[in-house]
């Protein structure tokens, strides 16, 4: 029996072939960005948030767990990596690993607390934990409060790649994004991913078949948080700062928005959604606070018009898997 994704396309060898073709096209298009004259900072920022959105999609789109606190993984990894680079003087690769380790540890701790509840209770617990960390980081000396950690050195990755050069940094961020994306893709198309989908569709039935669903959900939660932390560590090199913005509840809302706009439970929907939201913030900045209103209108329009999300509707119309 083949598994069914949210856009109702069977996960068959043909579907996987379609997805790999689209992945190859996406990788090529992203690889030639420095040659097109497109502002690289915008694309690097979008790639970081695309990885966060894909990690979040792994949790909600395939595990059925709606987290309102994924910003805590993004922000925590950013703070730890920034502190490790600027204060401890670690190399870029060790700074990234420190951020990933911090996000993974946070996932273990918060996962044990939140995974015991379901539905809206799980969502509210993750939101509460995220806001708790926000106020802790606001008062903790190493984060420098509202000022954040500024002027983070970029250094040389593995002692070879000079991250102060925008082109080199771009390809490092791109490689990180593609590696994270492929890990998520492999996860959702593995036996572990199939069990997650079964839990999403009918958890009592999965329990009756002998699966320890809490363990699967906890592992999915930790993996999702760790990958979100990886994106936060990469973002530190792009923005050269770590601030409270990445830990605030509004950031968690943006991550949810990125995932839902273009297709929950689709492989490429979160990627497109992240680019759409970041592009709106970048090119509509002149409207000030009205950017949030415009995003809200677009979100409502997408929900009412595209029930499966933009990418989900395209995949359903052409009967392909995206």
What's the whole-number mean pLDDT along residues 68-72?
94
Tell me which of 62-66, 77-81, 181-185, 282-286 is least confident.
Answer: 282-286
In the predicted structure, residue 194 carries a pLDDT above the cut 70: yes
In the predicted structure, residue 5 carries a pLDDT above the cut 50? no
* pLDDT of amino acid 247: 94
Write down the number of H helices and E strands in the chain: 13, 4
Give the separation between CA 152 and CA 129, rounded to whole angstroms. 27
- pTM, two decimals, is 0.92
Q: What pLDDT shows up at residue 92?
A: 95
Q: Can you list the pairs that 34-39 forms with residues at least 24 positions away whose Cβ atoms lie under 8 Å? A: 34/167, 34/170, 34/171
User: Could you tell me the pLDDT band of residue 318, with boundaries at 50, 70 and 90?
Assistant: confident
The tens digit of pLDDT for each residue in 108-155 reads 999 999 998 888 999 999 999 999 999 999 999 989 988 899 989 998
135 or 297: which leads in pLDDT: 135
Instruction: Look at 68 and 297; give whichever has higher pLDDT.
Output: 68
pLDDT class of 293 with cuts at 50, 70, 90 = confident
The two three-digit tokens of residue 125, written as one number: 């617990």
At residue 314, the pLDDT reads 82
Q: How far is the C-alpha of 320 from the C-alpha of 318, rounded, in Å?
A: 5
Q: Which residues contact 98 (CB under 8 A, 6 or more apart)?
A: 80, 81, 84, 90, 233
Confidence of residue 320 (pLDDT cuts 50, 70, 90): confident
Mean pLDDT of the chain: 89
Retrieve residue 186's tokens.
């492999």
Distance CA 29, CA 46 (A): 14
Report the pLDDT value the prediction gives residue 302, as an integer from 0 to 100.
78
Please provide the distance, in angstroms rounded to a whole number, between the alpha carbons at the two ends of the chain. 20
Residue in 43, 248, 31 with CA at minimum distance from that of residue 137: 248
- The answer to whether residues 19 and 26 touch, using CB atoms and an 8 Å cutoff, is no
In three-state secondary structure terms, 149 is strand
In whole angstroms, give the CA distance from residue 170 to residue 132. Answer: 33
Residue 242 above 70 pLDDT?
yes
Lowest mean pLDDT among 93-107, 116-130, 246-260, 280-294: 280-294
The pLDDT value given to residue 11: 60
Mapping DSSP onto H, E and C, the string for 9-57 reads CECCHHHHHHHHHHHHHHHHHHHCHHHCCCCHHHHHHHHHHHHHHHHHH
Whether the CB-CB separation of 21 and 146 falls below 8 Å is answered with no
Q: Report, as an integer, the average pLDDT of 218-225.
A: 96
Q: What is the pLDDT of residue 190?
A: 92
In this prediction, residue 70 carries a pLDDT of 94
Residue 266 confidence (pLDDT) above 80: yes
Q: Give me the mean pLDDT over the 315-319 stretch.
A: 78
**Nearest-CA neighbor of 54 among 23, 98, 79?**
23
How much of the chain, in percent, has pLDDT values that exceed 90? 61
Match 């700062």 to its residue by tokens.
241
pLDDT digits 0-9 by tens, 13-64: 777 888 889 999 999 999 999 888 778 889 999 999 999 999 999 999 999 9
pLDDT value for 46: 95
Mean pLDDT of 226-244: 94
Q: Which residues in the chain belong to E strands, given as ranges?
A: 149-150, 156-157, 161-162, 241-242
Instruction: Answer whether residue 3 shows pLDDT above 60.
Output: no
């Amino acid at each position: 029996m083949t598994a069914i994704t949210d856009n109702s396309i069977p996960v068959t060898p043909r579907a996987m072939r379609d997805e790999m073709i689209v992945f190859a096209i996406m990788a090529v298009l992203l690889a030639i960005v420095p040659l097109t004259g497109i502002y690289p900072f915008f694309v690097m920022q979008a790639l970081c948030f695309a990885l966060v959105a894909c990690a979040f999609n792994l949790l909600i789109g395939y595990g059925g767990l709606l987290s309102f606190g994924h910003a805590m993984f993004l922000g925590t990894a950013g703070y730890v990596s920034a502190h490790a680079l600027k204060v401890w003087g670690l190399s870029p690769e060790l700074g990234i690993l420190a951020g990933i380790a911090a996000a993974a540890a946070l996932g273990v701790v918060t996962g044990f607390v939140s995974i015991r509840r379901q539905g809206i209770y799980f969502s509210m617990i993750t939101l509460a934990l995220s806001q708790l960390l926000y106020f802790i980081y606001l008062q903790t000396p190493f984060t420098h409060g509202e000022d954040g950690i500024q002027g983070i050195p970029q250094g040389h990755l593995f002692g070879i790649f000079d991250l102060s050069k925008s082109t080199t940094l771009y390809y490092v961020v791109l490689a990180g994004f593609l590696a994270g994306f492929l890990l998520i893709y492999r996860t959702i198309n593995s036996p572990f991913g199939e069990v997650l989908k079964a839990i999403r569709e009918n958890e009592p039935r999965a329990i009756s078949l002998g699966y320890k669903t809490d363990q699967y959900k906890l592992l999915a939660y930790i993996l999702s948080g760790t990958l979100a932390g990886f994106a936060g560590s990469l973002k530190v090199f792009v923005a050269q700062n770590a601030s409270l913005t990445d830990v605030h509840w509004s950031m968690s809302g943006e991550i949810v928005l990125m995932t839902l706009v273009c297709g929950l439970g689709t492989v490429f929907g979160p990627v497109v959604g992240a680019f759409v939201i970041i592009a709106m913030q970048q090119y509509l900045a002149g409207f000030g606070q009205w950017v949030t209103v415009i995003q809200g209108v677009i979100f409502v329009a997408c929900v009412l018009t595209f029930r499966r999300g933009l990418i989900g509707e395209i995949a359903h119309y052409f009967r392909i898997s995206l």
